A = this chain, B = another copy of it.
């Protein structure tokens, strides 16, 4: 049933030329005369020839493929990055092999091994929240496969990275709020053992201190990056009757949790409690009120990561590691645009 695939050989046989001639012709090698090239291409088309990339790569020792490892797909931030990377790869005639770790370290390690086994020319990775063991990255390095870390960066020497200036983004948000008149500001901080959590908290603190605003430790709550955490944290403060005037959340789902909790207890945003979050998503425009945020430009991340990887792949000798830091933008919508007195 399975129609045997047409090979170079089949074309060669039919045309009474050698395989090499066919191979060269199909790749527009100048060796071959325009006439034969044309002839060969035509019969290839006619026979329905598809090259066998496996064989080609094996022989050419190059895969024209870049491995991508992300913790999640169905998530606006990663979804955008992936889409951008695919587009850039397509423009450059590269294939992307995407793998998803689902925030699981073991799976991440396995995926990297698979990518190596597939002989990808380079790897772009955003590590899981749990990744602590960096041995696998050493292996990648020893293999001579270029790797660039995006967004979540492990603490290793001499690596390529494209990070967001998270701390500064937080500072921008908080300083804006302070200028508005806010003093009672809380922060739902996610996990601070992750760089994004850590940096955002750091930025929060720095902005507060710089402006001589007292930090109330009760208002800094750690615990997660999802809706339910935002909901829980808000409810805890609410029950203690100890809500700040403004809550700065580490991610936008956390802010969603706050919206939900506030609605449940009948508190109005932004009048009773105000909110601003880290991370942009289209739907924030459609919340009521529209949610202001610190935007991380995903296109710049993708662009830079691909630049670095392509550059590394295409240069013969060692390339100096590059560490790009991308600045965020403050996007003001319906929240955090004016000072609302405490509840």
Contact = CB atoms under 8 A, between A and B. Distances in A.
Interface string A75-86: 110011011001
Interface string A227-239: 1000000000000
A3 B142 contact: yes
Interface in A163-197: none
A114 interface: yes
A113 B54 contact: no
Contacts of A39: none
Interface stretch (A19-27, A94-102, A153-161, A323-331): A94-102
A76 B96 CA distance: 21
Contacts of A100: 83, 86-87
Interface string A314-325: 000110000000
A51 B286 contact: no
A285 interface: yes
A117 B51 contact: yes
A57 interface: yes
Interface in A42-85: 48, 50-55, 57-58, 63, 72-76, 79-80, 82-83
Total copies of this chain within the assembly:
2
Contacts of A58: 52, 54-55, 58
A139 interface: yes
A13 interface: no
16 contacts: A3-B143, A5-B143, A48-B139, A51-B117, A53-B117, A54-B118, A55-B58, A73-B73, A74-B83, A83-B102, A90-B107, A227-B285, A227-B286, A283-B283, A286-B287, A287-B287
Interface of A: 1-3, 5, 48, 50-55, 57-58, 63, 72-76, 79-80, 82-83, 86-87, 90, 95-100, 102, 107, 113-114, 116-119, 139, 142-144, 227, 256, 259-260, 263, 281-283, 285-288, 317-318
